[in-house]
Structure formats: C-alpha cells, structure tokens
Amino acid sequence: MVDESPSEAPGTSLPVPTTTPYLVEPLADLAAWTGYFRQAQMPILAATALALEELRAKEDDVDAGMLAALIETDPLMTLKLMALVASRRQPGEVTDTETVVSSLVMMGVSPFFRLFGVQPTVEDQLHDQPKALEGLYTLLTRAKRAGHFALGFAVHRGDTDAGVIQQAAFLHDFAEMLMWCHAPTLVLEIRDMQRVNPTLRSANLQRFVFNIDFDDLRQALMTLWHLPALLVRISDGKHPDHPIVRNVLLAVRLARHTAHGWDNAALPDDFNDVAQLLNVAPRAARGFVYKIDQGRE
C-alpha cells in the first residue's frame, strides 16, 4: 500500500507511474477483496502528488502543519499515511494518534519524504476510463462536503473529538474510491443500473456486482491497517444509536442527497434527524445545514 520508490531530483517533473490492471470480474467474498487490497497499489490525486514533490524540493522549510494541510485534502493519501504510521507501531503499543497532523508529528517530516517516494496517481490509473475518473471526482467532492457537515455538527454539539468525526465522514466512502481505481467497469455497471432504476439500493447492487457490501470492506480494511480505534469505531454504521456515529452517518447522507441540489425527496427526513442530533427544531436544523454548506459556520 505504501509506495517507497526513490524520488526524483527536486524540481523535476513527475514520472509516468506504473498502473495496475483493472479487475473486470468480482472477487469471491470479503476475505478475497480484503486480501487484494492488502497488496494493491493506492494511487492519490495528481494535484496531491505534484504538491508533495514541490514540498520535497524545500524539505528543510516544511513542517508537519504544512504537510497535513495538503494531505488532509486527499482521502487516499490520508489513508496511506495513517496506515503506514500504524504499521510502524510496536506490538501492543498504545497511541492517541488520531489525526493527520499528529501522525506527521510522530513520524517526522524527513522520514515522511524518505518513506513516500513519487506517488502513483488516480489520473494515470484511470487515463483510459474518463467516465470512471469523473465518477471518482464526484465521490471525492461528496466526501469533502460530508466532512464539512460532520465538523459543523460536532462543533455545534461541543464534541471534543470533532476532528476525528470530520475525518471519519471524509473517509467514509474510501472503499468505493478504491473500487473506482481498481474495478472501474464494475462500478460503472452499478451506476448504470441506478440510472435506469433510481430506487435500487446501493448496498444491494454492491452485493450483486461485487459479492460484498462496501461498508463491510471499509471496516475490514480499517481493521487490517490498524487505523486508530476511535476512527474505526465511529465509522461503523452498524451502531447508529451512538451520537458520534449518527453525526458521521447524517453528514454522509446529506452530502449524498444534496450532491445535485436541494430538491431530493429524502431531505425532510434528513433535516428531522439532524434536528434530533443537535436538539433543535427541524426548521433551525435546515437553516444550520444551509449555513454549513455555504461555509459560514
């Protein structure tokens, strides 16, 4: 999962990375998919890869905060970093590392650049799959909005774990992101079926096409990569009664339901659920959600 290839000399252009062949047939079950992604290359956004090389060229002037500000915009690079930090812990070691910046502080800037060479990119991986790349970009935009909603709700509730809650919402759909990169034709098959019949549920289609539910794959990979326990716990939608988990799930739902505007028929129910989470009236919840989306909260 971590790409430790030697970096080019500072200031040179990014090389053309080796891409991974696409999967065109589903694997058998969750264990097979988990095993596949244990070894699979994880590409990141080209903009992130290029910016990392620019920072590498002036490494002595870079601090953890500068790196974190970049990495936190890219869910796949965020995963790579946190998984690497987890893999370097001593057996039985207990850590409170839950965020990108704390992971970088623990690792150090120079070791980061030494361990992460020039990164493969999703744009190169999907260079001949423009529809898949568009689908991935749409999902990435939705992930950022989900994180924004989650942070707004957490701050309103005075939750001390607001940063981790935001991160959980931001990373919620990373299993689907990986599928766009590694099995784009299969994900497009699901999208085409939903366009024909919008009432079809995503989870059912995932099981039909991939033999798994993406949520199960997310949790299995987070556990495999030993990501922080709090992050794993609040990402698990099978325990929606906990307020922190509801915070994440509602943020993800809102981002999905408002991806194409504010006329989705499910939004009244979303606003009612947000009202219960925040202990406010539904009208106030709706106004609060609007303000968060406009960046004023």
CATH number of the domain to which 284 belongs: 1.10.3210.10
**Measured between alpha carbons, how far is 77 from 170 in angstroms, rounded to an integer?**
12
Q: Which helix (H) or strand (E) holds 232?
A: helix 229-234
DSSP symbols for 119-167: PPBHHHHTTT-HHHHHHHHHHHHHHHHHHHHHHHHHHHHT-TTHHHHHH
pLDDT for res 254: 96
The phi and psi torsions of 193 (rounded to 5 degrees) equal -65, -40
Boundary residue ending a domain (63, 88, 119): 119
DSSP three-state, residue 20: coil
How many residues can be counted in the chain? 297
pLDDT of residue 12: 33
Q: Would 263 be classed as within a structural domain?
A: yes
> Alpha-carbon distance 86 to 44, whole Å?
19
Which pLDDT does position 93 carry in this prediction?
A: 58
- 239 within a domain of the structure (yes/no): yes
Report the C-alpha gap between 278 and 254 in whole angstroms. Answer: 15
Report yes or no on 98 lying in a domain. Answer: yes
Same domain? For 243 and 207 the reply is yes
106 and 190 housed in the same domain: no
Residue 164: burial class (beta carbons within 10 Å; 0-12, 13-18, 19+):
buried
What pLDDT does 13 receive? 42
Quick one: 76 and 203 in the same domain? Answer: no
Has residue 111 been placed in a domain? yes
Q: Are residues 106 and 245 in the same domain?
A: no
Asked whether residue 1 is assigned to any structural domain, the reply reads no
Residue that terminates a domain, selected from 75, 97, 119: 119
Q: How many domains does the chain have?
A: 2
Note whether 160 and 246 are same-domain residues: yes
Q: How far apart are CA 255 and CA 272, in angstroms?
A: 15
Which of 119, 145, 177 delimits the end of a domain?
Answer: 119
Based on the domain organization, do 113 and 130 belong to the same domain?
no
Does residue 7 fall inside a structural domain?
A: no
Instruction: Note down the domain range covering 62.
Output: 44-119
- Whole-number Å distance between alpha carbons of 173 and 125: 19
Number of C-beta neighbours around residue 201 at 10 A: 9
Q: Are residues 178 and 253 in the same domain?
A: yes
Q: pLDDT at position 1, please?
A: 59
- pLDDT per position as a tens digit, 5-31: 433 333 334 444 567 789 999 999 999
Is residue 48 within 8 Å of 41, Cβ to Cβ?
A: no
User: Both 180 and 96 in a single domain?
Assistant: no
**Is the domain of 113 the same as that of 247?**
no
Identify whether 81 is part of a domain: yes
Residue at 37 is within a domain: no
Same domain, 286 and 202: yes
Looking at the structure, tell me whether residues 104 and 209 fall in a common domain.
no
Where the chain has pLDDT below 70, the residues are 1-18, 90-98, 296-297
Q: Is there a single domain that holds both residue 195 and residue 252?
A: yes
